[in-house]
Structure 1
Amino acid sequence: MKSKKTTEQVHKLVTEIDNDPDNYQTYYDLCMLLINEESFDQAEQLLNQSLVKFKSNDQARSLFEYGIGILLYTNQMYEKAIPVFKLVDDPKLQHDAYLMTAQSYYALSQYKMAFAFALTASEGHKQDPDTNKLLGDIQLATGDLKSARDYYDTALKNDHSNELVFNRGIVEAGLEEGNSINNKYFDQVKRADPKYFENAKQKLEDINKLITNKEN
C-alpha cells in the first residue's frame, strides 16, 4: 500500500505529464518512483509505453532503456539487465550504465567482468565513491585486500556509509594477523549503528575463508 506522501508524488507527476506530455523526464521520474515503491508491473508497463512513445528521441530512448535495466536489476534479474544496460548509448548515462553493468556482474559473482566494467566506469570519475566502493567490493570478494583497501580509502574521501566503513574494517582485519574486530572502522560503525554492526559481523567469517583460499 502506497503511503500518503507517495500517493501525492504520483498524483503530482501524473498531473505534470497531463500538462506536458512531451517531457520524457517526468515519465522516467514516475517510473523510478513506482520501482522504489515496488509497483513493478506498473513501472514495466509505463517504461515500455514510454520507450515506444519517445522512440525517435535518442536521449529519451537511452533513459528508458536504462530504466528497464534498473527494473530488472531491482528484481534480481541480473543476466537480463546486463544486455539492456549495454544498449544505453547516451554519453550522459554511460557512467551509470557501466556501473550498473558492473554491479550486475558482481551480483552474479563474475568478478573479472565486474571489475572490467567498474574500471571503465571509473574513467573520468576517479573520485566517485560508488565506483570506488564497487571496485573495493570486487577486490575484497577475490581476496585482493591491499587493492580493496586502496579503493575503499578513495571512496571514504566522499562517503562514510556504514557499509563502506564496515567493509574497510573487514579489509583492515584481514590485513592484520588474527583478523581482530578491534579497529577504528568497526568502532566507528559500532558507535553509529550498533544493530547494523551486529548484523554485519558475519562478514568477518567470509574474510577468513577468502584469506585461507588465497593462501591455498
Structure 2
Amino acid sequence: MSEKDGQQAQAAASATVKKLVKAIDANPQDAQLIYQLATVLTEMQDYEQAEELLMKMLGQFHSDLAATDLLTYGLGNVYYQAAAYDQAAQMFAKVQTDQRKLDAYLMLAETYMQQKDYQKAFAFALTVHDQRATDPAVNALLGDILLAMGNFHQAADFYDQALAKQASDGQLNFNRGLVAMALGQDEQPFMAQAKKLDPAYVAQSAQRINDIATLIHKHEPADHDEEQ
C-alpha cells in the first residue's frame, strides 16, 4: 500500500469512527454498534482504545448474555490482533451462546495455531468443521494446522475442499502447492495460480518453500504410515 493509499484508508477509518460514535450516542443500548466501533479501532491498530471501550461496555451489558458474548468475542479479537494470545484464548473461551460459540471456537483454533499448540488448534477447528463442513475458511484452517503438523495427506484433503469453494484464493493455492511438494505431486499449477492471485503473499512466503523440506524430512515416516 502506497503512502497516499494509507492516508486515504486512515481518513476513511476515522470518518467511520466518528459516524459510529454518533450512532452509539443515539442508540447506547445497541451492542452491535459498539462491536463495530471496536472492530474499526482494532483495524486501525488502536488496541488500547478498543480494549477500553469493550471492557467498559461489558459492565453496561452484564445482564444481556447475547450482548455480553458479542462484546467478549470482540475483546478476544482485539487481543488476538495485538498478539496477546493467552488473553485472547481466555475471552473466546468465555463465549456461551450457540450463536457465537462456533465463531469463538474457530478463533480459539486460530489462537492456538499462533501459539503452535497444534493439537488444541486441531480439536477446536474440527469441532467447528462438524457444523460447517463446507466452509472454506474452516477447511483452509484445518489444512494449515495439518500442514504445520506434517500430516500432508490430510492437509491436502482439507485444502482441496476449501479450493472447491474458493479457488481464487492466492494464499490457499500457495499452501496447497506446499503440500503438493511434500507429497511429490506437481505443485506448479497451484504455485502459478498463487503468483497470479496474490504475488505479494508468495514473495513474503518464499522461505516456506525451503522450510517444507525440513518438514518432509521430519515427518516422512508418519506419512508412510498414513499411506498404508
**What CA deviation, in whole Å up to 9, does each residue of 1:2-32 have, x standing for no partner?**
7221121111111111111111111111011
**Alignment correspondent of 1:91:** 98
Give the aligned partner of residue 176 of structure 2.
Answer: 168
Instruction: Tell me what 1:206 maps to.
Output: 211
| Residues 215/157 of structure 1: CA separation in 2 closer, same or farther (3 Å cut) | closer
Distance 1:134 1:175 in 2: 19
Summarize the Cα distance change of 1:195–1:16 in structure 2 as closer, same or farther, 3 Å threshold. closer
Number of equivalenced pairs: 213
> More deviation in 49-58 or 73-82?
73-82
Shift of 1:174: 1.1
2:91 maps to a residue whose letter is V
Deviates more, 1:107-116 or 1:156-165: 156-165
Q: TM-score, normalised by structure 2?
A: 0.88
Q: Is the 8 A contact 2:170 2:195 kept in 1?
A: no
Structure 2 partner of 1:41: 48
Check conservation: 1:136, 1:149, Cα contact below 8 A.
yes
Within 5 A, what are the aligned runs for 1:47-86? 47-86=54-93
SS for the counterpart of 1:157 is helix
Trace 1:119-134 onto structure 2 (pairs within 5 A): 119-134=126-141
Q: How does 1:173-212 map to 2 (within 5 A)?
A: 173-176=181-184, 183-212=188-217
Distance in 2, matches of 1:56 and 1:194, equals 48
TM-score, scaled to structure 1:
0.93
Which letter maps to 1:183?
A: Q
Stretch moving more, 100-109 or 197-206: 197-206
Q: State whether structure 2 residue 32 is matched by structure 1 residue 25.
A: yes
**Aligned CA-pair RMSD:** 1.6
Tell which deviates more after alignment, 61-70 or 198-207: 198-207
Structure 1 residues not aligned, in runs of 5+: none
Which of 99, 105, 116 is matched with 2:112 structurally?
105
- Aligned 8 A contact 2:156 2:179 in 1: yes
Does residue 139 in structure 1 map to residue 146 in structure 2? yes
> How far 1:158 sits from its partner (Å)?
2.2
Q: Deviations over 1:142-190 (max 9, x none)?
A: 111110000001111222321111000001111117xx7x510001122
- CA separation in 2, counterparts of 1:133 and 1:37? 26
CA apart distance, 1:198: 2.8
Q: Judge conservation of contact 1:173–1:183 (CA < 8 Å) in 2.
A: no
Ranges in structure 2 where 5+ consecutive residues have no aligned partner:
1-6, 222-228
